[in-house]
Structure 1
Amino acid sequence: MQIHFFPGWPLRYAHVVVPGLQSEHDAQGTICLWAEDDPAQIAGRHLQGLFDRLDQWAAAAQQGFHAEDQALDAHRLYQEQSNYRAELPLQDLIDRGTNGYTADVFGFIQGNALLIEYGNAPDRRTSGKPILSGAFYLRRHLAVPPANLDEVRDALTRRQRNKLTRGLANRSPMAFPEPSGGHDFIVLAWPRHGDDYDAVALSISGDGDTLCTEALAATSSDAHALRRRAGPDADRLSTKTVLIAGAGSVGGHVAAAVACSGVGTIRLHDSDFLTSTNLVRHVGPRQYVGYRKTEAVAVAVEQHAPWTDLTHHPDLPYDPVGLIEAIDGVDLVIDCTGVLPMTAALAETCRRRGVALVAGALFHHGALARVQRQAVGDTPIAARSTDTRYHSLPPDDQAIGSAGFLELGCTAPVNNAPPLAVLTTAADIAFAAVDLLTERRERPDERITVLRTMDPPFHRTGAMDPRHTASAELP
């Protein structure tokens, strides 16, 4: 047994290495005592604390580790490790078959990742990058994760072994990740803990007697895996329809945030086009400069939250009839236009139709952010200017040169709110939307966040809401 001290010790615990050890919950002989983000590892700064944890590990190894202790990292038990990673639509492939299922898959290298897909492979002549061929094998149960190719072969059904043999026989002596004409990689998957599956992805190099395999750390790339990271509200939000007015810097990030949280349907309204200067604060990618901002946001949402159906529309109309028609059938309207007349028109129309509204905007070039909610039981937005529980925003009488600027193609000073103010405001709007859609209602119906100090009562950074009167000190 060896004890290795790494840079960062003693704040980073020493690692215990047993050369040649092959066991679950270790990595090539390095015993996994704590996760890197586990605060309990502070005990490992002292030798006795390290040995106590090692005794716990040994006792657990004798009894058998729980799956949550091991994680689903079967690749760590494989004899040879690769520096590449594999990403594959694991749940999609599992759903396509049962025990003994085999599928032809293909992949290509992007950075240090092997991106694996199924279906019809692109034409090698026009793809612009080498296309690798492989196979996916599904089994019902494995007692122990395989440590080498022979153990992988032993875990397969007869039909799967025959396919593997043919795929290996067709190889030329190419080193991964060059295409070989046969199997360039394979994936073996099996259930390991409840409904969770483990997988071993192997890269293949050489042929015949020179054949060698290495295990790649595997990551799921399907919508199921993405959705598991959407948070505990995802299922509840999946049936909700949200209308978002404004697809600018704030509205774009709000759309992405509520989509990633699990919202099933978004109607996005904006007629403006994405410009290069928008990219500093906007969620849209550069390749969508020249397209409508709604289209750029739709691409970002599709990439991050494929479960969300986002449709893009032109600006909302101001007339009541048009607004009523636009908001029909939605669970929530989110106003990110930052245009006072539109906010007022939406507030009145939503009040009359009984549709919930969240409105958010930045003021004074990013010094203040205000998020208002108008739902059942809330004070109507139109009535808040005369209600002493609500803070009135100071007039925007600053000189143009002090915080904003004029620019070619603009008809008004550019709102120079910094990106951090945009992201803070968008996050607060999204939080307010999810708080309302889940019916928790834990937030006040209005919150002003002071991001940069101004004259009293906005002279201290932090959040203000109707629980603090206009003359009260900020907490």
Structure 2
Amino acid sequence: MCLQEEHRSGRLDLADPLLGSAVEPASLAAFVAELEADGFHRVDTHVWRGPIRQVLIDSGYSTADEMTVIFRSPWPYLPPLLHVPGISAWHADHELLCIWEAEDNSQRWKTLQGTYDRIDEWVAHADEGFTGVETARNPEIYWHEPSSWLGLVDLEELIGNDRVDGQHGEFHFVDIESGDDESSVLVFDLRPGPFTPVRPRPSWVEKAQTVRGRWFYREGVEQPPRDVDEFAALLTENQNERLRKDLKQRPLLMYGVVWANVDGLVCTMLYSRPDGDGGRETWVGALRPKSSAALLLRAGSDATTLQRVKVAIIGAGAIGSHLAEFLARSGVGELRLFDPDRLWPANLIRHAAPPGTAPGTMKTVALKDHLVQYPWVQVDAVTEGSESYVWDPAAIREIAEQADLTVDATGHAGLAELAARVALECDRPYVTVALFRGGSVARVRRQAIATDTPILHRSRLGGYLAIPPLADELEFAGTEVGCLARVHNAPPVAVVRAAALASEVVIDHLCGRNEEPEEIVEVLRIGDEPFDRLGRLRPEDVPATVDLSETALQGAIEAADAARPLETGGILVGTEIDRRTTVSGVVEVVDPDAKPNRYHVAEGLVAEALALAKEADPRVGYLGEWHSHPDGSGPSTLDVATMLSIAAGSDCANPVLLLVHPPDHEPRVAAYVTTPAGLKPAVVEPCGDLPEVEAAAA
């Protein structure tokens, strides 16, 4: 039974090698059934042959009667190959029609019609010379033999900008190490200009005059050459004459033909040497880019902007080193690194410097040597001075004033605060990053734009989370010989994540977006509340704080105790100080119908109570409600609904609810802040009374 009959019968023979290797055997059987219905027949385990698509003949791309479909595993994630005998065209690799892009995941190839439609599209593009769609720059795949060496090249630099059809010129090349003993590959570095004896030459070449190369520039190349004859056919008569002389005079020669497509320069590069029998051996190479422009293609869309900026990083240790690398990879044009410390083998566990870095190397120098692979970034590894240098306010000011942004990555709270103070004084952008709680929490703070709260003030303002440390055995891994400080317990993954988070904030600011918040706290490993959810803490995750004066606290307790067993309550008055709600007083509003589990304020009485409070102290305003719960219970459903209604209908967006419990209950008072999601528990902080009105005026 053929697969077409099996498909029609609904029975699939998974013992068939083709179907047995498929992830979706049913869809593969359906496609094969379509093939067999269209005249294809099986010639091998994964191969079907049948009538060629007529458009390939009509357009002159093939004279064959048949084409071959070759299935690949795992179906349907890899499309089948299409072999068309005799086809000679761009995007036809060794008679295999290249109709699917490497990133194509459309799976249009799951039906025969989808495959036919793609062949028709290929023909249409080929008829137009692939104008406007040609982006392939790997012509070596069309050579009759696989490439056997790699070449690092900047083609624009190699042949220059003043290109004329028929032009040729010299270059030279050196070999470089690549890979290990088992998987090594021969790699050449192609460099512009003719060879001179003072230039380095491949280590396996003894005679300097043999290490030469020549490029030939052509326009209008429609498809890459597949052998040396087709290569020669692309050259002008003068270019061929030059090539013949080079091959005669130079035992070792690298030569290539260069042309342009819609995306840039393309080159088929050959390496040739005598074969020992009077002829020559020639191998095609696979060229790979090395120019800054080519490397920056993977740096992201911000790279162009970042090329013009300078970032100073204080602290080139664990987080700082990875931060520097992220910024360099992203396209930052200049980095200044400050750290008086040296690298030892233990540091390399979390440092960006590669394993094998010589012990005792300055951290900044090791990092600079590592970042040399990104040719667009200029790195200034500051080594002068001592540890006192980075603690000198004048030195920090100089660092900040010379950079577009300064980052503290030392992990030292004191130095982070000092640098923030200096950056604020000289009005320079500043970011600090650190890990907390054994590496389970990362925090990045920005102080760069007018709306950013100065970091110095945040510890006493509402809305900013304090991050308490863990017990020492969880915070630290232990001690080590030669080090006074304990070793922090942060794992390498946490270090890299903190550096990546800081990089996002830095790049966001340098590119002028400032879409990131001024302070980010990200939980990397779940712990106690509020660190009990992975990811960034939201504003609603930060515990609310209500400052409650002693006068207000005692007033509410005394009124509640006097009313027991009935409920009583009223309004909270006060003001906002440093973004923190400060309740300076309570006003009781008596409910004559109160019960042990019910309290209600009649309409109009709140306004009267507030007016009386403002008459006594014009500085205060309405902050919320309070009432007693003699049974010690929490907010009721009615309480939640009432507070949400108040928030929606008043100028107080986040009114406070204060519940007073009986004397034997802990806590005696409980505060809640109203949010769109309901009531959020708040921390009650005792505070003093507001200054007397006369003193405040004075």
How far, CA to CA, are the matches of 2:131 and 2:186 in structure 1?
Answer: 29
Q: Report the CA distance between 1:15 and its aligned residue.
A: 1.6
Counterpart in the other structure of 1:10: 76
Percent identical residues: 31
Q: Deviations over 1:69-107 (max 9, x none)?
A: 451222233333323332223222133753314113123
Tell me whether 1:335 sits opposite 2:403 in the alignment: no
Q: Deviations over 1:316-352 (max 9, x none)?
A: 4323222212222211001111111110011000011
Residues 1:408 and 1:128: Cα distance change in structure 2 (over 3 Å) = farther
Q: Report the CA distance between 1:129 and its aligned residue.
A: 4.7
How far, CA to CA, are the matches of 1:259 and 1:391 in structure 2?
Answer: 31
Return the letter of the residue paired with 1:53. Answer: R
Counterpart in the other structure of 1:264: 333
- Pick the aligned partner of 1:218 from 279, 287, 290: 287
Counterpart in the other structure of 2:240: 161
> How is 1:276-291 mapped onto 2 (pairs within 5 angstroms)?
276-285=345-354, 286-291=356-361
**Bigger mean CA offset, 317-326 vs 123-132:** 123-132
How far, CA to CA, are the matches of 2:218 and 2:86 in structure 1?
Answer: 30
Counterpart in the other structure of 2:151: 86
Residues 1:129 and 1:300: Cα distance change in structure 2 (over 3 Å) = farther
Tell me whether 1:240 sits opposite 2:309 in the alignment: yes
Structure with the bigger RCO (C-alpha within 8 Å, sep 6+) is 1
Q: Deviations over 1:350-390 (max 9, x none)?
A: 01111101111111221011111111220111111122212
- Pick the aligned partner of 2:456 from 367, 378, 382: 382
Return the letter of the residue paired with 2:268. Answer: V
The secondary structure found in structure 2 opposite 1:187 is strand
Counterpart in the other structure of 2:503: 430
Counterpart in the other structure of 1:397: 471
Counterpart in the other structure of 2:438: 365
Return the letter of the residue paired with 1:349. Answer: V
Return the letter of the residue paired with 1:17. Answer: H
Q: Report the CA distance between 1:405 and its aligned residue.
A: 2.4
Counterpart in the other structure of 2:269: 201
Q: 1:421–1:451: 8 Å Cα contact kept in structure 2?
A: yes
Name the Cα RMSD after superposition: 2.8
Q: 1:14–1:45: 8 Å Cα contact kept in structure 2?
A: no
How far, CA to CA, are the matches of 2:291 and 2:73 in structure 1?
Answer: 37
How far, CA to CA, are the matches of 1:329 and 1:446 in structure 2?
Answer: 24
- Pick the aligned partner of 1:115 from 185, 188, 210: 188
Q: Report the CA distance between 1:450 and its aligned residue.
A: 0.5
TM-score, length-scaled by structure 1 = 0.88
Return the letter of the residue paired with 1:322. Answer: A
Tell me whether 1:469 sits opposite 2:542 in the alignment: yes
Q: 1:366–1:422: 8 Å Cα contact kept in structure 2?
A: yes
The secondary structure found in structure 2 opposite 1:218 is strand
Q: Report the CA distance between 1:128 and its aligned residue.
A: 4.8
How far, CA to CA, are the matches of 1:187 and 1:454 in structure 2?
Answer: 61
Residue ranges of structure 1 left out of the alignment (5+ in a row):
172-180
Residues 1:136 and 1:429: Cα distance change in structure 2 (over 3 Å) = farther
Tell me whether 1:230 sits opposite 2:266 in the alignment: no
How far, CA to CA, are the matches of 1:319 and 1:63 in structure 2?
Answer: 67
Counterpart in the other structure of 1:142: 220
Tell me whether 1:293 sits opposite 2:358 in the alignment: no
Q: 2:272–2:281: 8 Å Cα contact kept in structure 1?
A: yes
How many residues in Structure 1 have an aligned counterpart in Structure 2?
460
Residues 1:469 and 1:121: Cα distance change in structure 2 (over 3 Å) = farther
The secondary structure found in structure 2 opposite 1:399 is helix
How far, CA to CA, are the matches of 1:19 and 1:338 in structure 2?
Answer: 66
How far, CA to CA, are the matches of 1:262 and 1:94 in structure 2?
Answer: 26
How far, CA to CA, are the matches of 2:357 and 2:75 in structure 1?
Answer: 45
Return the letter of the residue paired with 1:381. Answer: I
How far, CA to CA, are the matches of 2:309 and 2:199 in structure 1?
Answer: 42
Q: Report the CA distance between 1:245 and its aligned residue.
A: 0.6
How far, CA to CA, are the matches of 1:413 and 1:383 in structure 2?
Answer: 29
> How is 1:172-211 mapped onto 2 (pairs within 5 angstroms)?
181-183=251-253, 185-193=254-262, 196-206=264-274, 210-211=279-280
**Bigger mean CA offset, 407-416 vs 155-164:** 155-164
How far, CA to CA, are the matches of 2:199 and 2:368 in structure 1?
Answer: 30
**Bigger mean CA offset, 85-94 vs 313-322:** 313-322
Return the letter of the residue paired with 2:140. Answer: H
**Bigger mean CA offset, 347-356 vs 86-95:** 86-95
Q: 1:446–1:466: 8 Å Cα contact kept in structure 2?
A: no
Q: 2:158–2:171: 8 Å Cα contact kept in structure 1?
A: no
TM-score, length-scaled by structure 2 = 0.61
Tell me whether 1:65 sits opposite 2:134 in the alignment: no
Q: Larger radius of gyration, structure 1 or 2?
A: 2
Q: Deviations over 1:278-312 (max 9, x none)?
A: 22222212234321111111112111x21111101
Q: Deviations over 1:415-460 (max 9, x none)?
A: 2322211111111111111100011011101111111011000001
Counterpart in the other structure of 1:104: 171
**Bigger mean CA offset, 139-148 vs 373-382:** 139-148
How far, CA to CA, are the matches of 2:472 and 2:133 in structure 1?
Answer: 57
The secondary structure found in structure 2 opposite 1:343 is helix
Q: 2:310–2:403: 8 Å Cα contact kept in structure 1?
A: yes
How far, CA to CA, are the matches of 2:390 and 2:461 in structure 1?
Answer: 29
How far, CA to CA, are the matches of 2:393 and 2:199 in structure 1?
Answer: 55
How far, CA to CA, are the matches of 1:333 and 1:278 in structure 2?
Answer: 24
Residues 1:326 and 1:125: Cα distance change in structure 2 (over 3 Å) = closer
Counterpart in the other structure of 1:302: 372
How far, CA to CA, are the matches of 2:273 and 2:157 in structure 1?
Answer: 27
How far, CA to CA, are the matches of 2:344 and 2:197 in structure 1?
Answer: 33
Q: Report the CA distance between 1:239 and its aligned residue.
A: 1.8
